[in-house]
Amino acid sequence: MRILILGNMANDGYAVAKELRRMNQDVDLAVNLSDFGMALPEWEDANLSAETDPYSLDAKNARNTWTPPDWIHYVDFMNKISWRKNIISKIKSRFDVIKLMREYDIVEAHVPFSIYCQFSGVPYAAYDAGWIRYFPYSKKIRSKFAKRGYSKAKRIIITNPDTFEISDSLPYLDQNKIFFSPFAIDPEKYKPMDVRELRANYAREDEVLLFSPARQIWKEKGNDKMIRAFARFAKEVPKSKFIMVGWSIDEENSKNLVNDLGIQDRIVWIPPVPKGILIQYYNAADLVLDQFVLGSWGTSTPEAMACEKPVLMFYKKNYILRAFGEEPPILNSYGEDEIYSNLVKIVRNREFAIELGKKSREWIIKTHSSRVVALRHLEILRKVV
C-alpha cells in the first residue's frame, strides 16, 4: 500500500511519516513550500537559529543546515501571491498535486488538501487539526469545497478532542468514519535534558521559572487569564519569572496588560523559536502553561509533558475521556482563580511537581509517542483501502 501524507499541519504529517518509514511502510510526505514556516519539516529538524522567523522561513536556505529525506516532496501553492497576479501558475500547482496523488493507493490529506483530493479519484482520509472549527460556519467558496471534501473522505482523523462537539453536530459527516488520533511526539527527541546555562539567562537558582509557548490569541488561548493569574502569583511568590512567546494577533494586548498590571519586570518576551530550541525552553522551565479556552491541546502540551514538565491548561473532561479513556496528569485550569491556585499548589510542593512531571512523560509515551500514533494512522488508512 503506497501512502501519501499530503500536508504537514503542526509538523504532525512529518512525525507520522518518519515513524511509518522506520516501520518499513511505503509512505511519502508532500509539503507546501510556501506554507507557514512551522508547517515545514525544516522547523522541526533543520539546524535553525533562534532568530529564524517562521513567517519568512525559506526552506531552500534552511537546507544548508539539513538534508531532507528523499521521501519528502515539495510543492508550491504560492500562498503569498494573489490569484489575480499569477492565476495560471496557481491553477497548474493544483493540477500537479492531483497528478501526484494518483501515484498512490491512498492519501491522508491535511489542510487544505481535502479540497483537491475529492477530484483525484484516489481514496483519502481527511486529517483535521482544528480547521473544522472554522469552515462549517463560512459561506465562502473555499469553505464549501472543504465541507464537500470532508463529506467525501473515506475517513476523518480528528486530532483535537474538543472538536468532537462540532463534528457530532454536522449532518453531512458520517459519524462512523470519524476516528481520533492525537499528535505524534517523539519521546527520544522531546525528553528531559540539562539546560542550566539557558535557564541561568532568565532566572537565578532560587527563582521559579514559568514558560508559555502559546500564541497570543485571547479568544482561543486565554492568555489574558493566564497573565492576570500570574500577576497574583508574583505577589505570592516574589522570586518568579515568566517567559512568554510574543506572537500573533493579541501580542500588543498582552504586553499592554502586563504593563497595566505592573509585572513587566517579571516577564521575558521571546520570539517563536524552532523546535530544537523550544525543547531547551521546556526543560529550562519549572512548569509550562499552555491554553485555557478551547478545551484540548495541540502539540505544546504533550511536548512539554514529554520533557517531564508539569503543565497547566484547560481540557474538557468529557471529550478527553472519549478520546483517551482516562484523564491526563495535567492540572486542569480554566479560570483565573484555578490557574492561580494551581500555580501556588505546584510551586509550594516540590515533590508533587517532580512526581507530576514523571507521570506526564509516562502518559505521553503511552498515548502520544510516535510509534503509538503511527500505528493508529496505519490502522485507519488500511480501513480506507
Q: What is the pLDDT of residues 131-160, one digit of tens each?
A: 999 999 999 999 999 999 999 999 999 999
pLDDT for residue 133: 95
Rounded mean pLDDT, 44-63:
89
Q: Which three three-digit cell numbers place residue 287?
A: 512548569
Does position 50 have pLDDT exceeding 90, yes or no?
Answer: yes
**Cα 13 to Cα 174: distance, rounded to the nearest angstrom:** 24
Q: Taking the model in full, what pTM does it have?
A: 0.95
For residue range 176-228, list pLDDT tens digits in order. Answer: 999 999 999 999 999 999 999 999 999 999 999 999 999 999 999 999 999 99
CATH of domain 3-184+370-384: 3.40.50.2000
For residue 3, list its beta bridge partners. 27, 106
Q: Which three three-digit cell numbers place residue 80?
A: 503569498
For residue range 14-25, list pLDDT tens digits in order. Answer: 999 999 999 999
Buried b (16+ CB within 10 A) or exposed e, 272-305: bbbbbebbbbbbbbbbbbbbbbbbbbbbbbbbbb
- Phi, psi for residue 180 in degrees, rounded to 5: -100, 140
- Confidence band for 62, pLDDT divided at 50, 70 and 90: confident
**Cα 127 to Cα 159: distance, rounded to the nearest angstrom:** 8
Rounded mean pLDDT, 293-309:
97
CA-atom Rg of the chain in angstroms: 21
Does position 79 have pLDDT exceeding 90, yes or no?
Answer: no
**Cα 168 to Cα 204: distance, rounded to the nearest angstrom:** 49
- Confidence band for 287, pLDDT divided at 50, 70 and 90: very high
Q: In Å, how far are 244, 265, 303, 311, 347 from 285, measured between CA atoms?
A: 11, 17, 13, 11, 12
Q: What percent of the chain has pLDDT over 90?
A: 91
Q: Which three three-digit cell numbers place residue 173?
A: 459527516
* In CATH, 196-367 is 3.40.50.2000: yes
pLDDT for residue 65: 85
For residue range 233-285, list pLDDT tens digits in order. Answer: 999 999 999 999 999 999 999 999 999 999 999 999 999 999 999 999 999 99
Does position 84 have pLDDT exceeding 80, yes or no?
Answer: no
Q: Is the peptide bond before 238 cis (omega within 30 degrees of 0)?
A: no
Does position 80 have pLDDT exceeding 90, yes or no?
Answer: no
Q: Where in the chain is the domain with CATH 3.40.50.2000?
A: 3-184+370-384, 196-367
Closest listed residue to residue 203, CA positions, set 144, 267, 255, 121? 267
For residue range 347-381, list pLDDT tens digits in order. Answer: 999 999 999 999 999 999 999 999 999 999 999 99
